[in-house]
């Protein structure tokens, strides 16, 4: 879904963000939406967009915000992410498994 006005760099950024979200268990539609919003915000921050909201320009960048959040909490994959991976691998009985069981099943 890359836009015609995007540079090659922004198209690569979009694909990278989208693939990362899909790998973490997001739906295709939601992954596309988040990737487009992220790329457009970065374009606004760097003066590549015709219009930019105040929060897009003054707020903390999405890359920095993600970096700050990535090391908080217990870490590891969520139960939903593990379930989606188990579904992709065709593991039987996954709907009745706990998070720990899903972790063992998907490896």
Based on the domain organization, do 16 and 63 belong to the same domain?
yes
Write down the pLDDT at residue 40. Answer: 86
**pLDDT band at residue 84 under the 50/70/90 scheme:** very high
pLDDT of 90 above 70: yes
Q: What value does the mean pLDDT of the chain take?
A: 84
Based on the domain organization, do 52 and 80 belong to the same domain?
no
Report the candidate in 35, 52, 49 with the shortest Cα–Cα distance to residue 7: 49
Based on the domain organization, do 99 and 80 belong to the same domain?
yes
pLDDT of 11 above 70: yes
Kindly state the percentage of the chain with pLDDT values over 70.
86
Three-state SS annotation for 35-100: HHHHHHHHHHHCCCCCCCCHHHHHCCCHHHHHHHHCCCCCCCCCHHHHHHHHHHHCCCCHHHCCHH
Q: What is the pLDDT of residues 30-77, one digit of tens each?
A: 999 999 988 888 888 878 877 777 777 777 776 777 766 665 556 678
Based on the domain organization, do 68 and 79 belong to the same domain?
no
By residue range, what is the domain housing residue 31?
Answer: 1-72
């Amino acid at each position: 879904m890359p836009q015609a006005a995007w540079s090659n760099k922004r198209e690569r950024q979009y694909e990278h963000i989208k693939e990362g979200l899909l790998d973490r268990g997001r739906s295709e539609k939601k992954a596309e939406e988040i990737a487009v919003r992220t790329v457009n915000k970065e374009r606004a921050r760097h003066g590549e967009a015709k219009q930019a909201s105040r929060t897009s320009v003054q707020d903390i960048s999405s890359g920095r915000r993600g970096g700050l959040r990535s090391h908080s909490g217990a870490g590891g994959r969520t139960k939903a992410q593990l379930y989606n991976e188990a579904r992709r691998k065709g593991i039987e009985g996954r709907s009745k498994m706990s998070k720990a069981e899903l972790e063992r099943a998907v490896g």
